[in-house]
Amino acid sequence: MEEERNIQPETGNQQSTPSTSEAPRKKHIIREYAESIIIAALLALVIRTFMVQAFKIPSGSMEDTLLVGDHLLVTKFIYGTKIPFTEKWIIPVREPNRGDVIVFEYPEDSKNPALRFWQKKDFIKRVIGLPGDRVMMVNQVVYVNDKPYKIPQEIHKGTSMGPPELYNFPKLVVPAGHYFCMGDNRDRSHDSRFWGFVPKENIKGLAFILYWSWDSEKNRVRWDRIAKVIH
């Protein structure tokens, strides 16, 4: 900003007086900027905590529904949100349904008190079993409540030497307040078959739309995936 100067007449017996308006004006501008930054930060915190949060897909466990390099938005209020630093929850719109694609804190990290919150990983999987459901897998076919559960998003890309849990596991009953989750890429997903059920309090939200997608192998934007609704 160009500095303002007061020009005084050159008289022998009149002294110049310094401007008193510049300092208050600078303080006023600084205060306005500070207030704007604080309000923007608080608004971003509220949106991220209670409404929507962005996530990036780092692995292929949800192929072909979600690809490596996809960026998606997760709605947080639909299942209810825990109020920070309290044990209270905002009333959910609904409970998770079978088939929902959810983001949650990795249960094994939640059990480790040595991890700080920034060290804990977030997973994204599809809900297969609800509280009280009976879930099992026989020869790569998932059964829920003794009936085959097949979905169009399920794929089998194979693996050179996978553990037995990939193809078969005995009947399990999902406990109250928990969910059984699997990746759509059945043969290449580290999910509830290996580390158990997802507690309700670990769920961060429902994945609902892609807002960006980058193919690092071909070094290009996947324009056809942007704004794609997640099913």
Catalytic residue from among 19, 56, 59, 61: 61
Short-list 184, 179, 187, CA closest to 160: 187
Which pLDDT score is estimated for 10?
Answer: 38
In the annotation, is 26 catalytic? no
pLDDT tens per residue across span 136-188:
999 999 999 999 999 999 999 876 567 888 889 999 999 999 999 999 999 99
Asked whether the predicted pLDDT for residue 109 surpasses 80, the reply is yes
At 114, is the pLDDT very low, low, confident or very high (cuts 50, 70, 90)? Answer: very high
CB-based contact 56:70 (threshold 8 Å): yes
In the annotation, is 36 catalytic? no
CB-based contact 79:94 (threshold 8 Å): yes
Catalytic residue from among 36, 59, 125, 150: 125
Which pLDDT score is estimated for 24?
Answer: 65
Which pLDDT score is estimated for 221?
Answer: 96
Q: In what order do the strands lie in the sheet with 134-138?
A: 147-148, 141-144, 134-138, 169-173
Q: What does R_g of the chain's alpha carbons equal in angstroms? A: 27
Q: How far apart are CA 144 and CA 192, in angstroms?
A: 14
Q: What is the dihedral of CA 132, 133, 137, 138, to 10 degrees?
A: 110
| Residue bearing the bigger pLDDT, 85 or 99 | 99
Tokens of 47: 């949106």
Instruction: Please name the residue that has the structure tokens 């790569």.
Output: 140
Which pLDDT score is estimated for 92?
Answer: 81
In this prediction the pTM is 0.77
Short-list 202, 207, 206, 224, CA closest to 215: 224
3-state secondary structure of 194: helix
CA distances for 152 relative to 60, 67, 70, 85, 212, angstroms: 17, 16, 20, 41, 23
Which pLDDT score is estimated for 14?
Answer: 47
| Residue bearing the bigger pLDDT, 85 or 172 | 172
At 76, is the pLDDT very low, low, confident or very high (cuts 50, 70, 90)? Answer: confident
At 104, is the pLDDT very low, low, confident or very high (cuts 50, 70, 90)? Answer: very high
| Residue bearing the bigger pLDDT, 25 or 197 | 197
